[in-house]
Structure 1
Amino acid sequence: MKKHSLIFFLCLLLLQAPLYAQPGAQPPLDLSARQTTSLIFPYPILSVDRGSGDILAQVPEQTANVLQVKGAREHFPNTNLTVITKDGKLYSFPVRYASAPAATLLSLDSLTPTEASVLLPGGRLHDAELDNISRQLAQDARFYHGIKARTGGMRFALEGLYSKGNTLVYRLVLHNASSLPFELEAVRFATKDRRQARRAASQEVELQPYYAWGTQDASIEAGASQVFFFALERFPLGRGKEQVIELYERKGSRHLSLRLRDRHLVRACSLLFE
């Protein structure tokens, strides 16, 4: 009887060992009620879930990848914190109270054992995947011809359209052949009626890209070019509709517009890499 009890006890220890002896497991996040701890993530934050109201958390204005956390009261019981970022990663932190945390600034730019991948709504690609795609296709040879616009020495063209899963990736190139720099204000996507009756209301639906590359502080000097990438969820245009891509100059009048139809969208090149 004692022999069987000993074997059972050893088996129980072996089964429970992985729970208590995980190599490199995420150490607890120490939080104080008197100090703020800042967590810096490699990508913007999508959602934050606090295990209890004993954790205070906020994303500061003018930032997207910084989370500030602290304890709501002293000596709160152990809890946890879960964060999902736009690169499709889920971070899980065990949280405990500490009157004086050893660190109040944590950079999470490397993978941790408690990360997990998540699926974004609509089968969208993650920002990390799109960053990689943009870097690889930045110097890609043009395979779209004829979809372009010119004004005031500026040339705006769709030079690539790619698809992967439920995502369309647009490669747009703006070339400045004028003698003045061009300051980008915005790039806008919308669907419109191709033909509009004189007294009929225009049916226009704005499309919101969920990813943009190359648009931050975009200033195109004279003689220079800029490549942009945008990602949108795949969508049907519908009969009598067209997609319009509009580019606006800041404090200027050099606005350019591209028009696409279904026959252009179905020619999107399938991406085989990540």
Structure 2
Amino acid sequence: MKQFIKYLLVIIAATNSFITFAQAKQADALALGAIPPYSIEVTYDKTSHIIFPSGIRYVDLGSDYIIADKAADAENVVRVKASVQGFADQTNFSVITEDGSFYGFDVCYSIAPAEMSYNLSKGERQVRRNNAADVQFEDLGTTPASLTGLLMETLYKNNKKAIKNIRSDSYGITFRLKGIYVHNGKYYFHTEIENETFVPFAVDFITFKISDRKVAKRTVMQEKILEPLRTYRPVIPVEGQATERNIYLLDVFTLSEGQVLLIEAFEKNGGRSQVLKVKNSDLVKAQPLEKLRLKL
């Protein structure tokens, strides 16, 4: 009987050791994937602001001790303040940005915070992403949002002219398509607007739509609007004697016989709007980004 009890105690000790080891390994694995949070102080009578490298897509609060949301008319700024005076417990909030970065913040109350404004967009990309994690958005498929943004940025900076004959010229305004690229089921359209006049060209909006060539001038019933998934830069006015470029991300598509893709740049309060006509033969010649040897 004593021998049996001794044997049983050995089994229990071994089991406990295995459980402890497994828990330690699990903790180590979680620690490797931990996202170090930023620490900020907030107060009741003043509002703190945080500037992010990209637009805000999501904000979630850990408790009702604080109020946090996107600042009005500022896509990449979150404002946060205490909703309860002198709360003692630490709370937190999380932010996801359009470039696919996830940020965590630990929040403490202070009567007089040392800092009221934070700029996370300063510094090199890797430095400012040390406390952020990649998030995948459903509309971007398997490509991380951070990689999508990096590809758009690289195409913009490289500024290569891969297409020569798709352009619109009138009233001193030239609207051209510089390139169509494809990667992981997405098109990257590189456009350029050149203003040769001294009168600013105020771009109201730019649309992508599929039209039937035979009825495009007489009706809009046969038109299909395509919404870009992402735009590298906000649409801004093209000043006199200036040029502005942009990258637009769309899902891959093709055109049937008799259809054409219209890319239209509309002038606000003006009549100098421009339109580009893209045929199916242009779309299927889209260059794979993998073959461009882009320097990311």
- Which whole-Å CA distance do the structure 1 matches of 2:286 and 2:174 have between them? 22
Output the TM-score relative to the length of structure 2: 0.74
Match of 1:219 among 232, 239, 242: 239
- Which whole-Å CA distance do the structure 1 matches of 2:36 and 2:219 have between them? 63
Q: What is aligned with 1:31? A: 42
What whole-Å deviation, never above 9, does each CA across 1:6-55 have from its counterpart, x for those lacking one?
A: xx7x97997668989x9994353322233321111111111111112222
The alpha carbon displacement at 1:91 in A equals 0.3
The answer to which of 42-51 and 114-123 deviates more is 114-123
Displacement over 6 Å in runs of 4+: 10-20, 197-201
Distance 1:155 1:76, change over 3 A: same
- Which whole-Å CA distance do the structure 2 matches of 1:257 and 1:271 have between them? 26
Match of 2:106 among 94, 110, 113: 94
Output the TM-score relative to the length of structure 1: 0.79
What whole-Å deviation, never above 9, does each CA across 1:41-94 have from its counterpart, x for those lacking one?
A: 111111111112222112121111110111221315333211011111000112
- Which whole-Å CA distance do the structure 2 matches of 1:198 and 1:156 have between them? 20
What whole-Å deviation, never above 9, does each CA across 1:220-274 have from its counterpart, x for those lacking one?
A: 41xx544333222323444543211112234332222111122211111111344
The alpha carbon displacement at 1:105 in A equals 1.2
- Give ranges in structure 1 of 5+ residues lacking alignment: none
Task: Report the RMSD for the aligned CA atoms in angstroms.
Answer: 3.5
- Which whole-Å CA distance do the structure 1 matches of 2:35 and 2:231 have between them? 33
Determine whether 1:50 maps to 2:61: yes
Determine whether 1:271 maps to 2:283: no
- Which whole-Å CA distance do the structure 2 matches of 1:206 and 1:76 have between them? 52
- Which whole-Å CA distance do the structure 1 matches of 2:99 and 2:117 have between them? 21
Q: Which has the greater radius of gyration?
A: 2
Matched to 1:241, the amino acid is: Q
- Give ranges in structure 2 of 5+ residues lacking alignment: 1-8, 122-126
- Pairing of 1:17-166 with structure 2 (within 5 A): 25-74=36-85, 75=87, 77-109=89-121, 110-111=127-128, 113-123=130-140, 125-126=145-146, 128-138=149-159, 140=160, 142-166=161-185
What whole-Å deviation, never above 9, does each CA across 1:158-211 have from its counterpart, x for those lacking one?
A: 12111222321212233345x543413232221222233999862222222221
Structure with the largest fraction of helix: 2
Q: What fraction of aligned residue pairs are identical, expressed as a percent? A: 25
- Which whole-Å CA distance do the structure 1 matches of 2:34 and 2:43 have between them? 27
- Which whole-Å CA distance do the structure 1 matches of 2:135 and 2:216 have between them? 46
Aligned residue pairs, count: 266
